Structure 1
Amino acid sequence: MTELKVDIENTSHRMSAARCDPVYVAVLLLVALTLLVFFPVRGYEFINFDDDLYIINNPHVNTGLTVENIRWALTSTEFSNWFPLTWISHMLDVSLFGLRPEGHHLSNLLIHTANVVVLFFVFLRLGVPLKRAAFIAALFAVHPAHVESVAWVAERKEVLSAFFWMTTILAYTRYVRNPSMANYALVVFCFILGLMSKSMIVTLPFVLLLLDYWPLGRFRPRADVRGLILEKIPLFVLCAVVSVLTVAAQKQSGAIKTLELFPIKHRLLNAFVSYVRYVVNFIAPYDLSVMYPHEKAISLMTGAGAFALIALATGFVLWRAKRFPYLFTGWFWFTGTLVPVIQIVQTGLHSMADRYTYIPYIGLFIMAAMGVPHLLKDYGKAALSLGVITILVCAGLSVKQLSYWKDSITLFTHAVSVTRDNYLAYNNLGCALSQTGRDAEAVAAFEKSFSIYPNSAVIHVNAANLMLWTNRKDDAIMHFRTAIALDPANTSAYVGIGVALLMLNKPGESIPYFEKALVLEPTLTAAVSYLNAAKHQAVSGSSTANPSGKNFN
């Protein structure tokens, strides 16, 4: 009986010690902070920007987790990328929650919360003091620029790949402490899972070299630097394979824009300006937008000024690297991990994106967490207070930024209000307004969009579809023809003209357009159905049915 009493007392003491353990408390606070800020997302809708293409209207995803769908995920390069693990995660959500957005949003939030906790343990394992590791993780949790990656269901690839990015580093710290084939195999395995989630993490082997410099200190005098590089060769090989696959997929889908659309000079100037804007958004994260269109022209002086600022920052970091090695690691973590998405190789029509900062900003978090306490080393309480205030301000700004993601109309209305000439946002706003029956406002949004950028076939097709729906057939045909002139392979435009002609009781004139669409896309079922209807109408003389509904790209 006495022994049982002693065991109970010992167990009680251990539980009490666990509850008071600073690491345990920090983890609870980080989880609570993350959930408190982001929990409203559970009631948000899908948005009409990739959520529809990735999940709602994707037959391989919206039918859930099946062997056939998994086989498709492993081999598909649709949507300009290869990320099978991300596809499988979306399929699992559909199997669990159907197409109700709540479950999909909660999955993103849970992965983000896991990322916060793993990141905290990563820096603890790297030897960063507990308070500073907690500050880095807290900033990562609630920085407003990260709202996009969490609140946007289609950005599952960002949060999921980041999870494996962090677990790879965690496995790497284990390997550094105990080099063995088994521990190295775990590093490779985690990295492969990350690459299968999103190819942007190809920069991770370079970041491991940065961590070798600081805080792991493997670049000490007489260290075998060549050996540090050689040990990462398998990781570099994996990066090369996935990079080639990704570029091929993006070229095939047309995601990589031509030099005629964005000349190399403009891309370089935009890259320099974007780096500066990312730093500004890190320091003052407000007026953030889901879309940042390219400026029509960036002056050479603006680009040169941005380049000078980057060069000065880089020069300072190199100058102080020996005394403050965390500045070196943090700055080149930030600048290096942005390289794949800095838009020198232009993908899409945007100039930059908040979602691209999900991993790169960790570098700036390192600089802030390590540098500010050093500057205020004689004012410990002031440094702690400043850190707490920073977290609270970021949390408040994130709550506000999150509120814009509740639905498509709110999101894109905000986007056009905080950016200039954002034709991309006006286009999506028009689609969202139309889907809720606000057709007059939708037409105005589309007209605003192509008045800013008249050379987008997609925008003209969307406007034409709405005009067709609202019985403005002649206007619709005009916009469909404009779309074809801009993009002769746009099947939606050919089908649209055919439908408009059918509605005007001109079946004979409509048939060539449906046939052209089928030449371009032989499996396009809508074109087959309309072609059969046109042939039947041409023979029987009966009137055609109205189009089945609004169809936006």
Structure 2
Amino acid sequence: MKIPLALSVSERLAKCPSWFHAVVLFALVFLAFAPSLTFDFINYDDPYYIIDNPNVNTGLSLANLRWAFGTPGEVNLWNPLTTLSHQLVVSLFGLNPAWHHAVNGLCHALAASLLFLLAVKLTKSLPWSYFIALLWAIHPQKIQSVAWITERKDVLSGALFFASILCFAEWHSRTKKRPALYVASLLLFIAAAMAKPSVLPLPLVLLVLFALKPGQIISSALSSLRQLGPFFAAAVALAAIVVFFQSHGTLSDVGGDDSLFERLRQMIFGYVFYLLRFAFPIPSQFFFTPPLSHLPLVLAIVGLGLFLIAVIWLGRREKLIPVGALIYTLLWLPISGIIPISHYFAADRYSYLPQIGIIIIVIGLARRLSSLSSKSLLLPIALGSLVAGYLVLLQQQLPIWKNSETLFAHEMRVNPREALADIHYGEAFWNNDPAKALVHFELAHQKAPHEGLPLSKMGVTQLRLNQPEQALESFQAATRAANPVVETWTQLLLLQVDLKRYSEAEATVNDGLQRFPNQWPMLMNAGNFHLLVKKDPHQALPLFLKAHEISPSNADSIRACARCYLILGDQPSAARFERLLQLR
């Protein structure tokens, strides 16, 4: 009686509606990441995006809404919908990290459920759909995107991305087209791009999935333009907005000095990196930098060549393999380094959507192997073991993200040459044990003597330890570093003023303005020096006006301009800036 009962249960499950299985998958994925609900914020990017960001940590408001859509913030990325989601969570739950983590987990679980429904729609197979969604959702590379609150943009854009494709698939499959589904798909795509612009290749993914026909690639692509034209138009418009904000953000110079060879080199490393990292997601690592020697580049080129040969050869027998490779490539392009968006050439979080293409390749390989083998149980056991193995790795690696101390202590162990690991580990002890923090900042300086950030951190910590002369030396050394940070000039200026070394302070202001003529913090601090220390509003005003031009919505620069005009006796101009302040 046991066998019929088992078959009966299996048959009943197969007859359950797709939405029931999607709900089950949602619960499984959320439970897999449930430990993150006890995690804290971390001191890398969370302060910039949420904790110390006055336009986010004050919750939803009209002024914050305008800021979300009108500025790239500290990190020159335009993702207003993600910013709004952070503001909403703050309005509802404050800065309790548990709720922020919960929203990340819910968004990721929703993305997995929508991927499952899409897979059911395309494959007509419940087991394959479970495999696709589970393998993608619980792969250890997802930890950064889910457990790191800052990466809300990954999980939110991912859910909207799959929802857009699902609506398009439903519209495309119907004989009698429903415009509402098409419009919903287009709007969801736009929303996904406003959560994270890396979804912009979605129209090309739709082209691959629903339009291209083997042997008729050009003609089928041209015939699909009517259907996909609005998607491509929206993608171009959104890309223009993203590039505009990126070129005006505080990190607009990222990668600006890289040669064409350097960019191509990093792109090759990055493309191969995600393929290898999918198969071997160990150790859990935060920072990745490309190797500098030629041998790894040669090996990466050889590996890329072998991958392409395998795709072409196997693709003649199983079409899912080239389809997966194409989708992986399309979704990899935004994070490839063609347009630099970060100091790092690769990261686990960047694989959030491109990994779908790799999983499609895996399915193609599995189907090819199943056609060659008569042992029907061997393949399901192997695929199930793969999912189970990744789930075990997920549970092992997830606790690393509990807080800044656990995260960067682990990073120092697996990546001992990375100075940023020491810097952020030291920051975890800034308040309670500044002496311990100073030790790690000094270690970071030893690892990266050309960087100004470790010296700047040393100076700030030495001030906390009542060592002003040592701090002065550290700040001065930081300004002479090959890769300085603009904050150092502010820190040095404030210390020199506090020590009443006004001539040195003026030299610091002039040097900072020469090196960072378009940096808002430098302009504001220079203006405040001339206004408050030198009592010279005539020199201060042009600096404040330029700062206001760079960041028109910033209240500090508006307030500074109004104050200068008031001191100079220009009441109409002062009133104009006061009105701007009231409109925020």
Same fold at TM > 0.5: yes
Percent identical among aligned pairs is 28
1:55 aligns with 2:15: no
1:451 aligns with 2:465: no
Provide the C-alpha distance between the structure 2 equivalents of 1:108 and 1:488, rounded to a whole number of angstroms.
34
Deviation for aligned residue 1:231: 2.9
1:468 to 439, 459, 463: 463
1:186 to 184, 187, 190: 184
1:69 to 64, 67, 78: 64
Provide the C-alpha distance between the structure 2 equivalents of 1:419 and 1:382, rounded to a whole number of angstroms.
38
- 2:141 — aligned with what? 145
Query: Counterpart amino acid of 1:204?
Result: L
Deviation for aligned residue 1:266: 2.6
Provide the C-alpha distance between the structure 1 equivalents of 2:139 and 2:107, rounded to a whole number of angstroms.
16
Query: Counterpart amino acid of 2:199?
Result: I
Provide the C-alpha distance between the structure 2 equivalents of 1:275 and 1:522, rounded to a whole number of angstroms.
37
* More deviation, 343-352/157-166: 343-352
3-state DSSP of counterpart to 2:428: helix
Deviation for aligned residue 1:205: 1.3
Contact residue 270 and residue 298 of structure 1 kept, 8 A: no
Provide the C-alpha distance between the structure 1 equivalents of 2:252 and 2:39, rounded to a whole number of angstroms.
31
Deviation for aligned residue 1:157: 0.7
- Counterparts in 2 of 1:163 and 1:418: CA distance versus 1, 3 Å: same
Contact residue 175 and residue 184 of structure 1 kept, 8 A: yes
1:36 aligns with 2:34: no
Provide the C-alpha distance between the structure 2 equivalents of 1:223 and 1:344, rounded to a whole number of angstroms.
29
- 2:318 — aligned with what? 324
Deviation for aligned residue 1:289: 1.4
1:247 aligns with 2:264: no
* 1:252-267 → structure 2 map (5 Å cutoff): 252-257=248-253, 261-267=257-263
- 2:342 — aligned with what? 348
1:127 to 123, 147, 165: 123
Provide the C-alpha distance between the structure 2 equivalents of 1:117 and 1:308, rounded to a whole number of angstroms.
37
Contact residue 202 and residue 239 of structure 1 kept, 8 A: yes
* 1:144-543 → structure 2 map (5 Å cutoff): 144-178=140-174, 179=177, 181-212=179-210, 224-257=220-253, 261-295=257-291, 297-299=292-294, 301-377=295-371, 378-435=374-431, 437-486=432-481, 491-504=486-499, 506=501, 509-510=504-505, 513=508, 521=520
The TM-score normalised by the length of structure 1 is 0.85
Query: Counterpart amino acid of 2:16?
Result: D
3-state DSSP of counterpart to 2:345: strand
Structure 1, unmatched stretches of 5+, are 1-15, 537-553
Query: Counterpart amino acid of 1:208?
Result: L
Provide the C-alpha distance between the structure 1 equivalents of 2:421 and 2:443, rounded to a whole number of angstroms.
10
The TM-score normalised by the length of structure 2 is 0.80
Deviation for aligned residue 1:344: 3.8
Contact residue 460 and residue 479 of structure 1 kept, 8 A: yes
- Counterparts in 2 of 1:524 and 1:40: CA distance versus 1, 3 Å: farther
CA deviations on 1:259-278 (whole Å, 9 max, x unpaired) are 67533323322221222221
3-state DSSP of counterpart to 2:315: coil
- 1:545 — aligned with what? none
Provide the C-alpha distance between the structure 1 equivalents of 2:355 and 2:420, rounded to a whole number of angstroms.
25
CA deviations on 1:225-258 (whole Å, 9 max, x unpaired) are 3112453232222222222322332232353556
3-state DSSP of counterpart to 1:350: coil
3-state DSSP of counterpart to 2:123: coil
* More deviation, 387-396/356-365: 387-396
* More deviation, 47-56/239-248: 239-248
Provide the C-alpha distance between the structure 2 equivalents of 1:94 and 1:487, rounded to a whole number of angstroms.
39
Provide the C-alpha distance between the structure 2 equivalents of 1:226 and 1:136, rounded to a whole number of angstroms.
30
- Counterparts in 2 of 1:124 and 1:19: CA distance versus 1, 3 Å: closer
Deviation for aligned residue 1:380: 2.1
Provide the C-alpha distance between the structure 1 equivalents of 2:445 and 2:469, rounded to a whole number of angstroms.
18
- Counterparts in 2 of 1:458 and 1:531: CA distance versus 1, 3 Å: farther
- Counterparts in 2 of 1:67 and 1:17: CA distance versus 1, 3 Å: farther
- Counterparts in 2 of 1:93 and 1:526: CA distance versus 1, 3 Å: farther
Provide the C-alpha distance between the structure 2 equivalents of 1:128 and 1:356, rounded to a whole number of angstroms.
29
Deviation for aligned residue 1:523: 9.5
- Counterparts in 2 of 1:20 and 1:229: CA distance versus 1, 3 Å: closer
Deviation for aligned residue 1:149: 0.2
* More deviation, 174-183/130-139: 174-183
- 1:549 — aligned with what? none
- Counterparts in 2 of 1:533 and 1:357: CA distance versus 1, 3 Å: same
* More deviation, 221-230/145-154: 221-230
Structure 2, unmatched stretches of 5+, are 1-10, 536-584
Deviation for aligned residue 1:416: 2.2
- Counterparts in 2 of 1:493 and 1:183: CA distance versus 1, 3 Å: same
- Aligned residue pairs total 516
Deviation for aligned residue 1:40: 0.8
Provide the C-alpha distance between the structure 1 equivalents of 2:166 and 2:82, rounded to a whole number of angstroms.
21
3-state DSSP of counterpart to 2:63: helix
Provide the C-alpha distance between the structure 2 equivalents of 1:72 and 1:460, rounded to a whole number of angstroms.
32
CA deviations on 1:343-392 (whole Å, 9 max, x unpaired) are 24333221211001110111111222342243134222221212222111
Provide the C-alpha distance between the structure 2 equivalents of 1:349 and 1:445, rounded to a whole number of angstroms.
22
Contact residue 124 and residue 130 of structure 1 kept, 8 A: yes
CA deviations on 1:68-118 (whole Å, 9 max, x unpaired) are 211221222222121111111001100111011110000000000001100
Contact residue 273 and residue 346 of structure 2 kept, 8 A: no
Contact residue 489 and residue 522 of structure 2 kept, 8 A: no
Deviation for aligned residue 1:533: 8.0
CA deviations on 1:258-315 (whole Å, 9 max, x unpaired) are 66753332332222122222112111111121221343x131x421321222122223
- Counterparts in 2 of 1:205 and 1:446: CA distance versus 1, 3 Å: same
* More deviation, 504-513/247-256: 504-513
Contact residue 54 and residue 61 of structure 1 kept, 8 A: yes
* More deviation, 227-236/120-129: 227-236
- Counterparts in 2 of 1:352 and 1:222: CA distance versus 1, 3 Å: closer
- Counterparts in 2 of 1:416 and 1:221: CA distance versus 1, 3 Å: closer
- 1:7 — aligned with what? none
Provide the C-alpha distance between the structure 1 equivalents of 2:261 and 2:18, rounded to a whole number of angstroms.
49
3-state DSSP of counterpart to 1:255: coil
Contact residue 442 and residue 454 of structure 2 kept, 8 A: no
3-state DSSP of counterpart to 1:467: helix
- Counterparts in 2 of 1:353 and 1:27: CA distance versus 1, 3 Å: same
